[in-house]
Structure 1
Amino acid sequence: MLLLSALVSSLVLGSRAQAAPAPTNLTRSLASVSQRSVNTGWDYGQEKVRGVNIGGWLVLEPFITPSLFEQTGNNDIVDEYTFSQYQDKSVAQSALKEHWDSWITEDDFAQIAAAGLNHVRIPIGYWAYDVSGGEPYIQGQADYLDKAIGWAGKHGIKVMIDLHGAPASQNGYDNSGHRGSANWATDNNNVVRTKNVISTLAKKYSDPSYFGVVTMLALLNEPATYMNDQLLQTTRQYWKDAYGAARYPYGNSDKSGLVLVIHDGFQPLSTYQGFMSEPEYEDVFIDTHNYQVFNDDFVSWNWDQHVKGICDKASTYSQSPMWLVVGEWSLATTDCAKYLNGRGIGARYDGTYSGSSYHGSCDDKSNDVSKYSSEYKEFLRKFYDVQVQTYENNGQGWIHWTWKTESAADWSYQSGIKNGFIPSDSTNHQYSYQSLCG
Structure 2
Amino acid sequence: MFATYFALLALVVSHASAWIPEVQKHILALDGTNLFSSNETTHGNLTSKRWLQASGKVRGVNLGSLFVFEPWLAETEWSNMGCGSYNSEFDCVSALGQSQANTVFQNHWNTWITQSDISQMQSYGLNTIRIPVGYWMMESLVYSDSEHFPQGGLAYLERVCGWASDAGFYIIIDLHGAPGAQVAQNADTGQYASSPGFYVDYQFDRATSFLSWLTTLIHSTNAFRNVGMISIVNEPVQNSGSIGTLLSSYYPNAYSAIRNAESAAGVSSNNYLHVETMNSLWGSGDPNQYMTNQYFMAYDDHRYIKWDSTVAVSQSAYLSDSCHNNRNSDNESPTIVGEFSLSVPDSVQWTSGWDPTDNKSFYSQWFAAQVLNYEKYTNGWVFWTWKSQLGDYRWSYQDAVAAGVIPNNPGNVNQNACSGI
Determine whether 1:311 maps to 2:323: yes
Cα contact 1:40–1:212 (8 A) shared by 2: no
- One-letter code of the match for 1:162? D
Equivalent residue runs for 1:93-132 within 5 Å: 93-130=102-139, 131-132=141-142
What SS is found at the alignment partner of 1:164?
Answer: strand
Distance 1:373 1:423, change over 3 A: same
- One-letter code of the match for 1:98? N
- One-letter code of the match for 1:276? M
Instruction: Indicate which of 366, 380, 400 corresponds to 1:383.
Output: 366
Cα contact 1:83–1:92 (8 A) shared by 2: yes
- One-letter code of the match for 1:35? V
**Cα displacement string for residues 218-252 of structure 1 (whole angstroms, at most 9, x for unaligned residues):** 111111142x3241532442111111111221564
Distance 1:94 1:272, change over 3 A: closer
CA distance in 2, matches of 1:414, 1:43: 24
Distance 1:411 1:232, change over 3 A: farther
Q: CA deviation at 1:154?
A: 1.5
**Cα displacement string for residues 48-76 of structure 1 (whole angstroms, at most 9, x for unaligned residues):** 11111001011101122111333467765
What SS is found at the alignment partner of 2:183?
Answer: coil
- One-letter code of the match for 1:432? N
- Root-mean-square deviation over aligned CA pairs: 2.9
Cα contact 1:222–1:266 (8 A) shared by 2: no
CA distance in 2, matches of 1:73, 1:253: 42
Equivalent residue runs for 1:66-145 within 5 Å: 66-71=75-80, 76-130=85-139, 131-134=141-144, 135-145=147-157
Name stretches of at least 5 consecutive residues in structure 1 with no aligned partner. Answer: 1-31, 336-348, 350-359
Distance 1:400 1:361, change over 3 A: closer
Query: Comparing 208-217 with 287-296, which one deviates more in the overlay?
Result: 208-217
Query: Which TM-score applies when normalising by structure 1?
Result: 0.77
For residue 66 of structure 2, what is the aligned residue in structure 1? Answer: 57
Q: CA deviation at 1:141?
A: 1.3
CA distance in 2, matches of 1:321, 1:250: 24
Instruction: Indicate which of 382, 386, 389 corresponds to 1:403.
Output: 386
% identical equivalent positions: 26
- One-letter code of the match for 1:223? P
**Cα displacement string for residues 264-294 of structure 1 (whole angstroms, at most 9, x for unaligned residues):** 37645994576637xx321111101000223
CA distance in 2, matches of 1:87, 1:269: 36
For residue 6 of structure 2, what is the aligned residue in structure 1? Answer: none
For residue 221 of structure 1, what is the aligned residue in structure 2? Answer: 234
For residue 262 of structure 1, what is the aligned residue in structure 2? Answer: 277
Cα contact 2:62–2:131 (8 A) shared by 1: yes
Name stretches of at least 5 consecutive residues in structure 2 with no aligned partner. Answer: 1-9, 24-34, 37-56
Distance 1:327 1:37, change over 3 A: closer
Does 1 or 2 have the higher relative contact order (CA < 8 Å, sep 6+)?
1
CA distance in 2, matches of 1:434, 1:75: 43
CA distance in 1, matches of 2:364, 2:95: 41
Equivalent residue runs for 1:328-339 within 5 Å: 328-335=339-346
For residue 35 of structure 1, what is the aligned residue in structure 2? Answer: 13
What SS is found at the alignment partner of 1:35?
Answer: coil
Query: Which TM-score applies when normalising by structure 2?
Result: 0.80
